[in-house]
Amino acid sequence: MIARAEQLWAEKYRPKTVDEITGNNAKAKEVLKWVEDWINGKRDKKALLLYGPPGTGKTATVHAIAQQLNLDILEVNASDKRNAESMKKIVGAASIQASLLPSKIRIILIDEVDGISGSEDKGGINELIKILKSTVNPIIMTANDPWSPNLKPIRDLCLTVQYRRVTAASILNILKKICELEGVEYEEAALKKIAEASGGDIRSAINDLQFFAEGVKVLRESEIVFTGSRDRTVQVFEALKQLFGAKTLEAARAAFNTVDMDYDMFFKWVSENAYLHAKTPVELKNIYDYLSKADILLSKIIRTNNWSILKYFILLMTAGVSSAVTDKYGYKQYQFPSWINLLSASKKERELVENICLKIKLKCHVSAKKAHSVFLPFLKIIFQNNPSKAAKLAEYFDFADEEVNWLTGVVRKSR
Ligand SMILES: Nc1ncnc2c1ncn2[C@@H]1O[C@H](COP(=O)(O)OP(=O)(O)OP(=O)(O)O)[C@@H](O)[C@H]1O
Ligand SMILES: [Mg+2]
């Protein structure tokens, strides 16, 4: 159903310049001006907070600016479970880099700050405030709902920019352009229907387009049917909630039936998000034990064409996983499966680690294997905990920026 080997169109067609940002273009220009001012030394407010509904171009704006101005982005997702920790890593990475290359400016993108507004996350908020006060790089944060009282101290330190839902007419234009580039023929009414159903969310409109356009020659209005709730993403979120929250085997099993999706795609959704429901390492292990068993079964099914065992795959993926979860309720910020990015990232990452080990090998006259097994783990600990020592080591080993980022554990996204 959803393209498997292909890239997500919402990613593939992400704006490369601020001019390409549709809908909230004027806001994007404000953001660009702020970043340019920062580069030119005008730094009245240390950070920007972009807020507004999902899919309206907040993150896309930051990526477009980075690409346009040729800046790197250090990106963390604030709703990450280990947010206080990841906040610290950013400060660490940013300050190491600032002391190495004082002139190189990077945008620090902290996505979904509203994800850390819960009272249990005071640590994360306090870290963030410290970062905002001491940063040597421009910080841009995004949020859907910035009005939580816990976020007030953060709001006070920022310039805020409000993004609004994008009109159906603007979304229609984006969809038309993508169809043309992808060679998809369409009835205008079909695209209109998708645009109108999106509720001003560009990302979900593009995802819906990709879903409906997959495998058809001409996209017809009559084929655009939104089953159940309008947005399939919402539908999957509901199914995941039901799966992880299930108290009985049957309820967990039934969760899969509520969603109009292939079993292997649903498997990716479950795999991507199951960790959010693990409270302890043991639970995490148990959850992923079930998922890996399911995965093995699935490849066996495909290899041997023995579909009679599909039901066991589905049971492992649903009832198995659900039985291993004790953190069943509460709001979780489910993510779209990132397996495509992961696949390409892992090859890149391997090369990156090999390079780091090569540098260690040359400086310390040890084998690459020893560099990997003995030196690397210690370097990581130092880089994640002691920025000033790390800066010296980075210089000594001549680590490149992305190697420093990898050692500090910061997710780095460049253009
Ligand atoms: N012309 C365009 N303008 C804006 N976004 C576009 C355009 N064309 C494609 N897109 C895609 O639409 C999506 C916009 O969503 P984006 O991720 O920026 O939303 P967001 O406001 O950050 O939402 P959230 O609050 O959920 O993080 C991106 O995937 C972007 O690549
Ligand atoms: Mg975003």
pLDDT in tens, 63-99: 999 999 999 888 877 666 555 666 677 666 766 666 6
Q: Are 218 and 190 in contact (CB under 8 A)?
A: no
Q: List, in sequence order, the alpha helices (H) in 40-121.
A: 58-69, 83-100
The tally of CA atoms less than 13 A away on the side-chain side of residue 132 is 24
* Burial environment of residue 323 by CB neighbours within 10 A (0 to 12, 13 to 18, 19 or more): middle
Report CA(386)–ligand 2 centroid distance (Å): 30
C-alpha 337, offset from chain centre: 9
Higher pLDDT among residues 109 and 28, named by residue: 28
- Ligand 1 is surrounded, with C-beta below 6 A, by 10, 13-15, 20-22, 54-60, 142, 144, 163, 174, 202-203, 206
Per-residue pLDDT tens over the stretch 113-140: 887 755 555 677 887 888 888 888 899 9
Tell me whether residue 285 is exposed, middle or buried, using C-beta atoms within 10 angstroms of its C-beta: 0 to 12, 13 to 18, 19 or more: exposed
pLDDT at 222: 86
* Higher pLDDT pick, 89 / 201: 201
Residue 89's contacts (CB-CB under 8 Å, 6 or more residues apart) are 76, 384, 408, 409, 410
Q: Per-residue DSSP letters for 330-352?
A: S--------HHHHHHHHHHHHHH
| pLDDT (0 to 100) of residue 32 | 97
Whole-number Å distance between alpha carbons of 258 and 411: 34
User: Ligand 1 center to residue 379 CA distance, Å?
Assistant: 37
Residue 228 has pLDDT above 60, yes or no: no
- Please say if the pLDDT value at position 231 is more than 60: no
Residues in the chain: 415
> For residue 336, which of 179, 204, 191, 195 has the smallest C-alpha distance?
204
* Ligand 1 center to 112 CA (angstroms): 14
Paired with 158 in beta bridges are 47
Average pLDDT over residues 46-54: 91
**Which residue lies with its CA nearest to atom 10 of ligand 1?**
14
CA–chain centroid gap for 235, Å, is: 19
C-alpha distance from residue 341 to each of 8, 26, 108, 126 (Å): 10, 30, 20, 31
H helices of 258-386, where?
263-273, 281-304, 310-315, 321-323, 339-364, 368-370, 376-385
- The reported pLDDT for the residue numbered 366 is 81
Across the chain, what does the average pLDDT equal?
A: 83
Retrieve residue 236's tokens.
């999957």
- Tell me, what's the pLDDT at 179? 96
233/199: higher pLDDT: 199
Q: Give 339 or 127, the one with higher predicted confidence.
A: 127
Given its phi and psi angles, is residue 77 left (phi above 0), alpha (psi -120 to 50 degrees) or beta? beta
Residue nearest to atom 29 of ligand 1 (CA): 10
For the residues 54-62, what does the mean pLDDT come to? 94
412-413 and 158-162: which strand pairing? unpaired
Residue to probe by mutation, ligand 1, list 16, 113, 202, most atoms within 8 Å of CB: 202
- pLDDT of residue 340 exceeding 50, the answer is no
What class is the 166-223 domain?
mainly alpha
The confidence score (pLDDT) of residue 167 equals 93
CATH level 3 topology of 24-162: Rossmann fold (3.40.50)
Domain spans in the chain, listed from the N-terminal domain onward: 24-162, 166-223, 232-323, 339-410
Backbone angles phi, psi at 401, to 5 degrees: -50, -45
Q: Whose CA is nearest to atom 6 of ligand 1?
A: 14
Asked if the model's pLDDT at residue 6 lies above 70, the reply is no
More confident residue, 169 or 131: 169
Q: Count how many Cα atoms sit within 13 Å of the Cα of residue 141 in the half-sphere of its side chain.
A: 29
pLDDT score, position 178:
96
